[in-house]
Amino acid sequence: MTDEQLPPPPPEMKAFVELLGSRDAALKLIEARGGRLLYIPHRAERSDLVEIIGADALARLATRAGGDRLKVPLGREWRVQILRARGQSHGEIASTLGMTESGVYRSLRRSGLAGNVGDALQTPSSSPHQLDLFE
């Protein structure tokens, strides 16, 4: 999924995404280090973050915040939207993010992306991963 295809970040995460320069880099950092306080080096080549977000994003981050500490958000609601857009079921999202299926449904409902209750339950007939026995 390209940067343009990812759901837009919520307003509270826009500054974080802009700091890194792309949604993809922000998402990678959130997935790898979400909820942590990170030291941002002055020089990008001195950090293992290059393996996570790439040299360009780290260079941009080092230029803007080198020497500072950065609190990496969890971005849970945004990650729920992204995983759903990638076709994951509510159960798969719940397992990935360490939350309940009903929590996933509530998150999607708050963002306006939830369908009816049957969508949240992912019945076999509506799951993209389930074959139809009668076709």
Same domain as 80, residue 67: no
Q: Mind listing the pLDDT tens digit of every residue in the chain (135 residues)?
A: 565 777 889 898 999 999 999 999 999 999 999 999 999 998 877 788 999 999 999 999 999 999 999 999 999 999 999 999 999 999 999 999 999 999 999 999 988 876 544 444 444 445 666 676 676
And the tokens for 122?
């992912």
Sign of CA dihedral 15, 17, 21, 26: positive
What is the pTM (predicted TM-score) of this model? 0.74
Same domain as 15, residue 63: yes
The answer to whether position 39 is within a domain reads: yes
How many structural domains compose the chain?
A: 2
**Beta partners for 71?**
37
Q: Which domain holds residue 88?
A: 76-121
Residue type, 17: V
Same domain as 82, residue 61: no
